[in-house]
Amino acid sequence: MILTVTLNTALDITYRVRALRPHSTHRVSEVSERPGGKGLNVARVLAALGHEVTVAGFAGGATGRTVRDQLAETVGVVDALVPVEGPTRRTIAVVDTATGDTTQLNEPGPAITPAEWSAFQERYEHLLRSASAVALCGSLPPGVPVGAYAQLVRTARALAVPVLLDTSGEPLRRGVAARPDIVKPNAEELAELTGSHEPLQAIRSARRRGAHTVVASLGADGLLAENAAGRWRAAPPRRVHGNPTGAGDSAVAGLLSGLVENLPWPERLARAAALSAATVLAPAAGEFDRSAYEALAGQVAVTSEAPAA
């Protein structure tokens, strides 16, 4: 079983409009909603790839009930969310169908009490005992300590469960210091962590801070990864246009599935890059265009560079 943690779960709502113009009224041509937050997106992709997945985090209020009802209909995903008093947040993605651009609006999430945080930690440790890997994903809701991910990384490492961290800001900085097996920042998050906008220099800085492997999402330029064994670049054969929401989460799913399947790093990265590109072509977050993925899977170029110094 693969465990994904989404401390700030959400109901992802996607609107599609012909052209998004500020200060004007729009007619929405299509609406979709899915259980969201980074770890839930990861879980759906993993389940679609045939893996058994358990999701942990928080859910509360009417929005939380909607999230859980929809999760119950998702084959291969087990709901282990902890109930809370505060309402689960909503995230709104507005897709301009004329340009393919997306505007994102994210609510902050519910305020988590100390008792709710303690209940989550107990459930998390219990779930880890049957997990083959764990992904810690996304933002922290109000009330959760800023060092939460560092604590969760240490718990996983104590139980010898490989852990991937995908967050940003201060939670990422503290989490990296706890020495996760993999961190997967995008270019902006990596620059914020290290102070460097040069990807390779930033990756090496992140590794010195504690990460064993760093996989950086570089948008249309694909993925750049480095660990003690080497360095690799993976990029799809062409730029794709669509809704990028959830593309990084699909990359995480590719990395996790490759980890538990013991694939070599080049194959993990090729899968992650293909899934990420196929997600941009899908209509909503947490999904991927399967035909596009199958076509791209054998076309992603992975180049190996000199071993890391």
The residues annotated as belonging to the active site are 249
Give the chain's length. 309
H-helix segments, 232-305: 247-260, 265-280, 290-297
Q: What are the residues whose beta carbons fall under 8 Å from the beta carbon of 18, sequence distance 6 or more? A: 26, 27, 29, 96, 97, 98
Are 201 and 180 contacting, i.e. CB atoms less than 8 angstroms apart? no
Cα 214 to chain centroid distance, Å, stands at 14
DSSP codes, 41-73? HHHHHHHHTT--EEEEEEEEHHHHHHHHHHHHT
Per the CB < 8 A criterion, the answer to whether 234 and 273 are in contact is yes
Q: Going along the chain, which residue ranges are E strands?
A: 2-6, 10-17, 28-36, 53-60, 77-79, 82-84, 89-96, 102-106, 133-137, 163-166, 182-183, 213-217, 223-227, 230-235, 301-305
Largest interatomic CA distance in the chain: 55
